[in-house]
Amino acid sequence: MIVKQLEVGRLGVFCYIIGCEDTKRAALVDPAAEADRILADVASNGLTVEFIINTHAHPDHISGNADIVERTGAAIIIHEAEASWLSSLANKAFLTMIGGRTSPPADRTVKDGDTIPVGAITLSVIHTPGHSPGSICLYDGRKYLITGDTLFVGGVGRTDLPGGSMKTMMTSIRERIMTLPDDTVILPGHNYGPAPTSTVADERESNPFL
C-alpha cells in the first residue's frame, strides 16, 4: 500500500495519495490545489488515479477537484449529505477567493459502512458528523485513518460553520475514532499540529480536547 501525504495550497490542506502496489490503481483524498505537483507524484509511483474522495465539501478541500477530473477522468466520491454542497453558491464564492474552481458533481455518494475499492485495497467509510453533516473518515482496516477535519494532531475541527456541532463532533471522535486500535495512524486534513501525523493512543493521551 502506498500512502503519500502532500501539503497543498494556501490553507495547509493535506492531500493523500492512496495507491495499490499490485494494480497501480490510486485514489486522491482531498486534492485541494497544486494539481501539477499531485499528479507528478502520482506518475512517479506509476499510479493511475481512479477516484477522488472528498472527506467533506468545504471549499478548501474540493478546490482541486475540477483540475484532477479534467486530467485523469477520476470519479468523485463524497458522503451523501455533502453532495449538494459541492456546487453551492457559498462554495463558489469562497472558491473564487482562494483561487479554486467549482467542483464537478459527485459520481458516487457513500454512507457509513460503505467501502471503496482502490485496486486490492479496501477503504471503509466511517461517518463522523460534527465538523459538517457529511464528514467522513477513511480506514484501511489495518493501520491508517484519514480523518479530514474531524480530528487534527492535538486539535479538532471547527464547528462554527453551517451544519457544524461540537457535541456531535466530539461524539464522533470518541465513539468512532478513539475506539480504533491504539496504533492506528491518524492522517489529518490540515497541517495544524506539532507533527503531520499521530496515533489514536497519542491523541487520547495528549489532545487537550479529549
So what's the pLDDT on residue 134? 97
| Amino acid identity at 48 | T
**CATH number for the domain that contains residue 6:** 3.60.15.10
- Backbone Cα Rg of the chain: 16
CA dist 104 and 65 (Å) reads 7
For 18-31, the pLDDT digits (tens) are 999 999 999 999 99
CA gap 64, 9 in Å, rounded: 9
Which residues constitute the domain of residue 174? 2-206
pLDDT of residue 140: 98
Question: Rounded to an integer, what distance in angstroms lies between the CA atom of residue 25 and that of residue 81?
Answer: 27
The model's confidence at residue 111, banded by pLDDT at 50, 70 and 90, is very high
The helix (run of H) or strand (run of E) holding residue 65 is helix 65-72
DSSP string, 81-99: TTGGGTT-HHHHHHHHHTT
| pLDDT for residue 102 | 85
Structurally, the chain folds into a number of domains equal to 1
CA distance 169 to 207: 15
With H, G, I as helix, E, B as strand and everything else as coil, classify residue 59: helix
Taking the CA of residue 67 as centre, how many other CA atoms within 13 Å lie in the half-sphere pointing to its CB? Answer: 17
Q: Which residues contact 194 (CB under 8 A, 6 or more apart)?
A: 153, 154
pLDDT band at 41 (very low <50, low <70, confident <90, very high): very high
User: What Å distances lie between residue 55 and 31, 43, 110, CA to CA?
Assistant: 10, 23, 11
Cell of 33: 490545489
pLDDT number for residue 94: 64
pLDDT tens figures, 113-167: 999 999 999 999 999 999 999 999 999 999 999 999 999 999 999 999 889 999 9
Q: Please say whether the beta carbons of 138 and 55 come within 8 A.
A: yes
Helix axes 35-44 and 65-72, enclosed angle (nearest 10)? 40
